[in-house]
Chains A and B, each alone.
Chain A
Amino acid sequence: MSMRARIIHRDDVLKIVDLLRRDREVIAAFLGRGRDSAFGVVTDENRDRVQIHVPNPHYPPKRYVFPHIERIMKLRGGNGEVRIEPTYDAPRRAIFGIRSCDVAGIWHLDRFFLGREFRDIYYQRHREALFLVNVVCTDPGCDIDEHCFCVCADTGPAARDHFDLQLMDLGGDEFMAVAGTPAGEAFLDEPIFRRGTAEHVERRRRILGEVRKHFKEMTTSWFSATVRYVSQGKILDKTWEEIGVRCLECGGCTYVCPACTCFTVRDRQVGPNEWERVRLWDACALGGFTRMAGGHNPRRAVHDRRNRRFFRKLAHYFIQRELTMACVGCGRCNAVCHGDIGMPSVVEMIRRATAPEDKMEPVEGTPAGSK
């Protein structure tokens, strides 16, 4: 068994939360009414309600590295005296129980905000202060729902990287803990962890094989084909139009997406001659997104043909640019979309419309072609 893996007893798992709380704010998903769940700060009062298996909240954990609204600087002007002062607020944090898709989401954000020529210091500060405890989705009743498609996006059910610590329920009283970073590895020295055996590794493999069967059989092999269709401009105008017509431009999909990055910037007055500059999430699905001087909106005409959001997420060019795809298969957009054009549905729509036109693809009798 690898040096970086340990076994921990079920009764001890929440002790990880306690250990983390010594010097960090710990975030976990809490069950609300019905299947609703939401991330919140672990306190002395709610600590015992932290669960390992819980439906993944719709409002993603992205906000702990890229807050919905964030003050980025203070501006003071007037009377010849001006000051421009950056403001940072990045507390030490851990997310306990982050799902593999969301770990991949954060990795995508890392690539986007920290990669390329400009580095985003606000994102960086949040990220460096963050410790991720990933939980592998193994409970079909709780962890996985009909919208999940991490298996197609190749991000789950068990993340391979980019977490500090990963926990997986091995059934019985045992969990396997795997360290993904030196910080996570240091954690494994705590006395609650013990060494595992080859049997544990075998059990992990078997459980993962079982879990994979619980994902709805759907777009699995079509994600890559869709990327190809989009990148090569093979999507028919009528397909883009159909997607466009169904889009109500509510922005819900971008709001719940762990991999969407768009923001806008506003200055708000906080005193005489004093303003603060805030940035807030924005959505390319909203009408005003590309509006320009003189009311000329360049996207309007073309938008009806090509959906900005799916193009941005599926075009090979961007995947190459960020080295990760801007969709991690969490299925949230499918769950919230009123027009049924979440990512899995769109992949399916594109496949149905494009495959018959595409001579490279067999149309009938493919495993994913059922339904």
Chain B
Amino acid sequence: MMRPEVAENVYLPRVAVLDRVVDEIQDVKTFYWHFEDPADREAFKSFRPGQFVQVTLFGAGEMPLSLPPSPTEGETFFTVRRVGSCTEALHGLRPGDKFGVRGPYGNGFPMGSFHGKNLVFVAGGIGLIPLRSCIVYALAHREKYRRIQIFLGARTPRDLMYRDKLLEWERSAGVECYLTVDRAEEGWAGNVGVVGSLFKKPGVEVPVEDTVAFVCGPPVMFRFVIRDLAGMGFSEESIISTLERYMKCGVGKCGHCCIGVAYVCVDGPVFSYRQIRKLGEDI
């Protein structure tokens, strides 16, 4: 149940406090935070994997950010790449500094409807950020899902996201992780090539029957991966992704995220590839 003062004004951010900052890859950091008001913390617990929030940085403005944590975890955090004024301002914060958060918004991944299926996660670069939430969620309900595979591609080994986490999942939770880079560097003994090249590697066997493929990454990567998956026999409904659109309100009013017949902020950001095609616009 939403509290009346929050429900009344959907544009009103709530005060959040930064706890600590962890370096991920170049220009990307993870920011752990909590709501100042315990009531906000409580209300926020029910977010779903794949949802997002609107984050206010004083003096810089407001921006949408995914929620990489799973609701099954105790902590809330963002993983953010520095690209412009808002992200820059967030990167400049120190523990104890305050900012604003409102949400969660969006449909999220329908994790319940994937029970009994294999889950294949395919990510390019920071595309792993929104997928992290479902991966952790699936691992917290491991018995509900069959095989879980993660394919991650990045430009260089130094650009591989959440590497320690991947290792941990692989060791502890029966997850198969496959990594690849565009350009190898000193000490890299793994695969070199686009993420789709991993599907055909000896020893890799991607289940197609009863499988959902989650694909997130830059538009070029998305197009190639879709082609690969389709070639392997994945149907358009069995491929899902999140769309990233310029967003100003997050609640279906400003019109900025509207593509085809969907408002990405309320109808998405999670769509099946079939829906994306019907929207009739580029990814």
Contact = CB atoms under 8 A, between A and B. Distances in A.
Contacts of A357: none
B11 A72 contact: yes
A202 interface: no
Contacts of A299: 259, 281
Contacts of A298: 219, 245, 259, 281-283
Contacts of A353: none
Contact of A82 (B83, B98, B253, B283): B98
A78 B96 CA distance: 11
A118 B256 contact: no
A296 B248 CA distance: 17
Contacts of B219: 296, 298
B9 interface: yes
A221 interface: no
Contacts of B280: 233, 302, 306
A115 to B, nearest CB: 10
A302 B281 contact: yes
Contacts of B253: 112-113, 118, 120, 261, 263
A164 B251 CA distance: 30
B59 A292 contact: no
Interface in B241-258: 244-246, 248-249, 251-256, 258
Nearest to A318: B261
Contact of B258 (A72, A119, A301, A312): A312
A189 interface: no
A120 B10 contact: yes
Interface string A276-289: 01010010100001
B266 interface: yes
A77 B36 CA distance: 14
Given A265-B62, A282-B254, A73 B281 contact: no
Interface in B143-184: none
B188 interface: no
B248 A263 contact: yes
A222 interface: no
5 contacts: A120-B253, A267-B61, A277-B62, A299-B281, A301-B282
Interface of B: 8-15, 56, 58-62, 83-84, 96-100, 219, 244-246, 248-249, 251-256, 258-259, 261, 266, 280-283
Interface of A: 72-73, 75-78, 80, 82, 84, 86, 112-113, 116-122, 233, 261-267, 269, 273, 275, 277, 279, 282, 284, 289-294, 296, 298-299, 301-302, 306, 308, 312, 315, 317-318
